[in-house]
Amino acid sequence: KAGVTQTPRYLIKTRGQQVTLSCSPISGHRSVSWYQQTPGQGLQFLFEYFSETQRNKGNFPGRFSGRQFSNSRSEMNVSTLELGDSALYLCASSLGQVFSYNEQFFGPGTRLTVL
């Protein structure tokens, strides 16, 4: 069974640009969550999507957005990039049953560098 895949693996952008990251969950998984990992702030929850709807949202500015498609693939977008957005962005997928926690499987991440 293929794991969670994230593309691209590495990305370099300049301040002010926008970026789109992609995540393909494990087949059959309907929930996708996104996390930001930085040396200073650690792992922080961005948002979770389930059946094309945002189910939970972390404490990030509106420049961070996401969406989920009918095949459960998800994208996250960061607009007007700032230097502080440099991070490893992790995607995690799970079955996504309602009213219960499902084990999440993490992808390798996309390393974003903002210059």
Partner 1 sequence: AQSVSQHNHHVILSEAASLELGCNYSYGGTVNLFWYVQYPGQHLQLLLKYFSGDPLVKGIKGFEAEFIKSKFSFNLRKPSVQWSDTAEYFCAVNPYNAGNMLTFGGGTRLMVKP
Structural element, H or E, at residue 37: strand 31-38
Query: How far is the CA of 62 from the CAs of 30, 33, 65, 89, in angstroms?
Result: 24, 17, 7, 17
Contact pick of 1, 59, 62, 70 for partner 1 (by CB under 8 A): 59
The site map against partner 1 for 62-81 (x = CB under 8 A) is --------------------
User: Residue 9 — left, alpha, or beta (φ > 0 → left; ψ -120 to 50 → alpha)?
Assistant: alpha
Contact pick of 21, 23, 31, 87 for partner 1 (by CB under 8 A): 31
Q: Which residues bind partner 1 (CB under 8 A)?
A: 3-4, 31, 33, 35, 42-45, 48, 50, 55-56, 58-59, 90, 92, 94, 96, 99, 101-104, 106-109
